[in-house]
Structure 1
Amino acid sequence: MADLVAAGAPELPEGWFYRVKEEYGVGFKVEIREQQRFTSREVSSSWVHENRFDDMAAAVVDACRYAYLYAGERADTQAKLAALAEFLGDHDPKGGRA
């Protein structure tokens, strides 16, 4: 990960890492993953658009930036959904039954 960060990719929180992988027949993908006890889970991902860049390192770093952006958006959405969950249930304007 240090090579990607040195090239301009966002630094990730502790326990997260980048994985660059080839999806056969589709292309290359950057995943942001969170280390679990025995495995890892995908936090976010983005496709590498190699046709937009002459330098493939720049293409991978660009995908890292988008994956990081998507991870932030996902976290914001999850926080909003958690706040909305507090309102679950019936809301009687009269204060409910006695």
Structure 2
Amino acid sequence: MTMEELVHAGAPELPAGWFYRVTSNGFCFEVQVREWRRRFGSRQHGYALVRSDEVDGLTAIVAACRHAVRRMEEEDEHWRKRRDVAKYLGDYDPREKR
């Protein structure tokens, strides 16, 4: 199956250079959202386990793709908020004048 076919089936479209990887550890299946790197292969940005209670395999994979992208976006938002708070690290001592 190609990325185009997966997106046509309902998986979120990914930016250029990004792809989905479906893996198995023998007990469960996992969908990963990955980005190609210039060196050393690819980097994982998000993941989701594939649920086996879906109607069919493709539906299960597409649902996991959606969940993996949603999880990745939530994680990105979390780190953006942390960076925003980190700007204010330091002492706020009223005795200190600038």
Query: What runs of 5+ residues in structure 1 fail to find an aligned partner?
Result: none
The Cα of 1:54 is off from its aligned counterpart by 2.5
Q: After superposition, what is the alpha-carbon deviation per residue over 1:2-54, rounded to whole angstroms, capped at 9, x for unaligned?
A: 12101000001222110011112x2110000111112111100000001x112
What amino acid is the match of 2:51? H
Report the Cα distance in structure 1 between the residues aligned to 2:94 and 2:69, rounded to whole angstroms: 43
Q: Does 1:29 align with 2:11?
A: no
Runs (4 or more) in structure 1 with deviation over 4 Å come to: none
| Aligned positions of 1:62-81 closer than 5 A | 62-81=63-82
Report the Cα distance in structure 1 between the residues aligned to 2:90 and 2:17, rounded to whole angstroms: 36
Q: Which residue of the partner structure matches residue 56 of structure 2? A: 55
Report the TM-score when normalising by structure 1: 0.89
Report the Cα distance in structure 2 between the residues aligned to 1:43 and 1:68, rounded to whole angstroms: 9
Q: Which residue of the partner structure matches residue 5 of structure 1? A: 7
Aligned length: 95
**Aligned sequence identity (%):** 41
What amino acid is the match of 1:88? L
Task: Give the secondary-structure state (helix, strand or coil) at the position aligned to 1:5.
Answer: helix
Report the Cα distance in structure 2 between the residues aligned to 1:34 and 1:93, rounded to whole angstroms: 47
The Cα of 1:93 is off from its aligned counterpart by 2.5
CA RMSD in angstroms, aligned pairs only: 1.3
Task: Return 57-66 or 10-19, whichever deviates more.
Answer: 10-19
Report the Cα distance in structure 1 between the residues aligned to 2:75 and 2:17, rounded to whole angstroms: 17
